[in-house]
Chains A and B, each alone.
Chain A
């Protein structure tokens, strides 16, 4: 196989995987519950810690933390521990924060179409500008 052809086939296989991933995420978005959609929305509006998600959504801890774990397992969000040095400097324990993945963003976008009032719950920057 010539290098150009190999590159082209690599390129197309990457695209196919990307589109399959997007389609899968969109299909999964149809199954996302309102609670999960609220949590995704909260994370997307920079409420990236478990407690702040609880505060914004008004959901109890027994709902929020298992939902965060479930969504992390489903690769809609990813978690990361804050650096110890930052926490030490502020004399507090390090926190685990959450970010949306690409699949999470697609799912949230689809959920906003399904639940139009979702954006009003925790206004994102775009909504605030309006």
Chain B
């Protein structure tokens, strides 16, 4: 019986775990194999497709094609955060606030709430500093670049506050929505602040673009006097970031290796564009 629908449904469900660019090939292979498997064993065999799909997901040879919001450009990142902040303000303004008459929530109150949330976030800044890993730079950066780096971080920090305020207003709502928000708000609050920091860590300090092409270097079993971890590259060729997998006395912090113009031939961007 080659037209058993259940194993094929299982295959279809498992295929959702595979990277989209390899899904067709993966499905073709599994459907072909299922055709040859006796139908009594087909169901059991098709369950193995989940493990195979997960393996393919974890070991995707083309990580650049992963489905994720691509925020390589700092302008795109700020634009998206600004849009989300604007939407959050609109949503927050529409929500009824307990002990307040409907329609009394004006811009001044919302701005005050955002500033209040910013102060609360600042309390958590000490906690988020523990995950902060500033690139150990052998060549000191010009103050202009450092200032831009700080402004970008501050902008992201400020722009996530309206989203927090919106979440907080949902938290105040009576009924199931408020109870659900009660559980998730703290977790989301911490995760958003953590994202702000980790996103900053994964950006080139010169052009603020997200670092690309992460490559694993070394093996965990050979740590004696040998560094192992991940190396990411700035797509404009400004440098390489070495992030150690396991902190040790000689590689505690990520190492930012600045590249000079002699490396420009290796990168797609013309040399003139490599300078900020």
Say whether A and B bind each other.
yes
User: Distance in Å from the Cβ of B181 to the closest Cβ of chain A?
Assistant: 39
Q: What residue in chain A is nearest B35 (Cβ atoms)?
A: A93
Binds A, one of B42-50, B159-167, B209-217, B239-247: B42-50
Q: Which residues of A contact B44 (CB under 8 A)?
A: 60-61
Q: Are B49 and A95 in contact (CB under 8 A)?
A: no
Q: What residue in chain A is nearest B34 (Cβ atoms)?
A: A51
User: Distance in Å from the Cβ of B178 to the closest Cβ of chain A?
Assistant: 42
Q: What residue in chain B is nearest A50 (Cβ atoms)?
A: B33
Which residues of chain A from 60 to 97 have a CB within 8 Å of any chain B CB?
Answer: 60-66, 69-70, 73, 92-96
Question: With A60-B48, A62-B47, A73-B61 as given contacts, are A49 and B55 in contact (CB-CB < 8 Å)?
Answer: no
Say which size band chain A's interface belongs to: 10 to 19
Q: Are A94 and B32 in contact (CB under 8 A)?
A: yes
User: Distance in Å from the Cβ of A45 to the closest Cβ of chain B?
Assistant: 18
Cβ of A110 under 8 Å from chain B: no
Q: What residue in chain A is nearest B32 (Cβ atoms)?
A: A93
Cα(A94)–Cα(B36), bound, Å:
11
Cα(A16)–Cα(B55), bound, Å:
34
Which residues of chain A from 29 to 51 have a CB within 8 Å of any chain B CB?
Answer: 49-51
Cβ of A54 under 8 Å from chain B: yes
Q: Are A62 and B32 in contact (CB under 8 A)?
A: no
Q: Which residues of B contact A63 (CB under 8 A)?
A: 48, 51
Which residues of chain B from 79 to 102 have a CB within 8 Å of any chain A CB?
Answer: none
Cα(A93)–Cα(B27), bound, Å:
12
Pick the contact of B51 from A50, A62, A94, A95 — CB < 8 Å? A62
User: Distance in Å from the Cβ of A72 to the closest Cβ of chain B?
Assistant: 10
Q: Are A51 and B33 in contact (CB under 8 A)?
A: yes
Taking each of A49, A63, A64, A93, which has the highest tally of chain B beta carbons within 10 Å of its own beta carbon?
A93
Q: Which residues of B contact A54 (CB under 8 A)?
A: 45
Those 3 A-B pairs whose CB atoms lie nearest each other, nearest first: A61-B48, A62-B48, A62-B51
B-side interface residues toward A, CB under 8 Å? Answer: 29, 31-33, 35-37, 44-52, 55-56, 59, 61
Could you list some 15 contacts between A and B, CB below 8 A? A49-B33, A51-B36, A60-B48, A61-B33, A61-B46, A61-B48, A65-B48, A65-B49, A65-B52, A69-B52, A69-B59, A70-B55, A92-B35, A93-B31, A95-B33
